[in-house]
């Protein structure tokens, strides 16, 4: 049995943190679903920037949308939704078979809305309505401004992938927003089945401390944070509060491990995948990491739900302020996505201008 199938059978979903039009049109994504047990897909501004910038596969759509008078964000979302609708259709059998547990794709709201709660709520509702696919998550960052937008969006019935979480405290704040949204739906007599995942970013922890800790501690912090967050997740699922909601039909908000591509060339390229193999979770990984794990990854003992966190104490003793660093990583992540978004808008505009010149020549 393949390692990817073993991980799937353990109870962890493998999602692909990648999308390109070629991945869809070539049949590669279909093959990953069929052969590597991939059951979902995530995207972000950086992924789309690289996809559009590095290919002519989007030229026809960009040209047509520009002729229709679209530009900037409006044009980009048409391009992105075209890809994500196709991906959602590929995963729809998984979504239907699992009653919404799996088979999702994700689209992020504009990072320029990071501090705009009302704007985020409006954009999330509009994008999900435009997608016309039940298995499409809208990604909202779990920032102070994002949390109330998440609660309101869940209450409105919009499925949400909560992104940019970096600690178990941030995860719990995101889970609280989800729970409140579901509780309000029940109080209003609405269906409590609204999909959500909470995305914990892993590898950026190790990048942030690599020059601040002894060699023995390198490439260990991300796994330690993931382990602590998994414990918090399992404790929440066992809580009386969640059990009451589950008894009334609510879907669990699953913990998703994100940013799982190894950044240190001296470390194993499947470090985070192997270490964070945990039932009832999701691991979204870049295509390169997926193929590496399929080639030589190993599934060992699953992550225990009640494991302590002595390694976090080691980092604290080494002078790492974990709470402060979590906030810094979240702010840096938001800033990084904003920069990628600006690059993406520039790329789309540049391509549109180039294609217009060719058409008029």
User: pLDDT for 101-118, tens place per residue?
Assistant: 999 999 999 999 999 999
Extract long-range pairs of 319-328: CB within 8 Å, 24+ residues apart: 319/212, 320/209, 320/212, 320/213, 320/221, 322/167, 322/225, 323/167, 323/169, 325/166, 325/205, 325/208, 325/209, 326/166, 326/167, 326/169, 326/170, 328/208
For residue 41, tell me if it sits in a domain: yes
Q: What span, in angstroms and rounded, lies between the C-alpha atoms of 189 and 208?
A: 46
Q: What span, in angstroms and rounded, lies between the C-alpha atoms of 361 and 281?
A: 53
What percentage of residues in the chain have a pLDDT greater than 90? Answer: 85
Q: What is the pLDDT of residue 254?
A: 98
For residue 234, tell me if it sits in a domain: yes
270 three-state secondary structure = coil
Contact 141, 114 (CB under 8 A): yes
Annotated catalytic residue, options 70, 139, 212, 357:
139
For residue 361, tell me if it sits in a domain: no
For residue 144, tell me if it sits in a domain: yes
Q: For 40-81, write each residue's pLDDT tens digit.
A: 999 998 899 888 987 889 999 998 888 888 889 999 999 999
For residue 204, tell me if it sits in a domain: yes
348: tokens are: 């789309």
User: Residue 318's domain is classified under what CATH number?
Assistant: 3.20.20.70
Q: What is the pLDDT of residue 309?
A: 78
Among 117-131, 160-174, 189-203, 292-306, name the one with the lowest average pLDDT.
292-306
Whether residue 279 is predicted with pLDDT greater than 70 in this model: the reply is yes
Q: What is the pLDDT of residue 359?
A: 62
Q: For 131-160, write each residue's pLDDT tens digit.
A: 999 999 999 999 999 999 999 999 999 999
Q: How many domains does the chain have?
A: 1
Q: Which structural domain, as residue segments, surrounds residue 266?
A: 3-356
Asked if 122 is an active-site residue, the reply is no
């Amino acid at each position: 049995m393949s390692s990817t199938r073993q991980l799937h059978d353990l109870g962890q979903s493998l999602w692909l943190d990648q999308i390109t039009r070629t991945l869809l049109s070539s049949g590669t994504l279909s093959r990953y679903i069929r052969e590597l047990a991939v059951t979902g897909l995530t995207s972000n501004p950086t992924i789309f920037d690289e996809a559009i910038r590095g290919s002519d596969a989007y030229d026809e759509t960009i040209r047509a949308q520009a002729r229709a008078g679209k530009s900037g964000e409006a044009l980009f979302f048409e391009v992105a939704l075209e890809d994500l609708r196709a991906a959602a259709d590929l995963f729809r059998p998984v979504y239907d078979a699992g009653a919404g547990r799996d088979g999702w794709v994700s689209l992020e709201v504009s990072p320029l809305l990071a501090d705009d709660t009302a704007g985020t709520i409006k954009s999330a509702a509009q994008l999900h309505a435009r997608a016309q696919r039940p298995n499409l998550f809208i990604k909202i960052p779990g920032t102070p401004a994002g949390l109330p937008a998440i609660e309101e969006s869940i209450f409105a019935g919009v499925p949400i992938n909560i992104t940019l979480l970096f600690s178990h405290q941030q995860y719990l704040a995101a889970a609280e927003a989800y729970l409140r949204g579901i509780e309000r739906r029940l109080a209003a007599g609405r269906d409590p089945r609204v999909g959500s995942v909470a995305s914990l970013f892993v590898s950026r922890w190790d990048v942030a401390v690599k020059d601040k800790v002894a060699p023995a501690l390198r490439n260990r912090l991300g796994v330690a944070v993931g382990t602590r967050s998994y414990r918090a997740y399992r404790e929440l699922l066992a809580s009386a509060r969640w059990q009451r909601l589950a008894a009334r039909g609510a879907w669990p908000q699953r913990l998703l491990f994100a940013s799982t591509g190894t950044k240190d060339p001296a470390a194993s390229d499947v470090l985070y995948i192997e270490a964070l193999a945990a039932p009832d979770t999701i691991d979204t990984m870049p295509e390169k990491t997926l193929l590496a794990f399929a080639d030589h990854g190993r599934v060992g003992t699953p992550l225990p739900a009640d494991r302590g966190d002595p390694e976090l104490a080691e980092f604290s003793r080494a002078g790492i302020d974990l709470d402060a660093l979590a906030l810094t990583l979240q702010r840096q992540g938001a800033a990084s996505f904003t920069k990628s978004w600006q690059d993406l808008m520039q790329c789309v505009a540049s391509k549109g201008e180039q294609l217009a010149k060719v058409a008029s020549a």
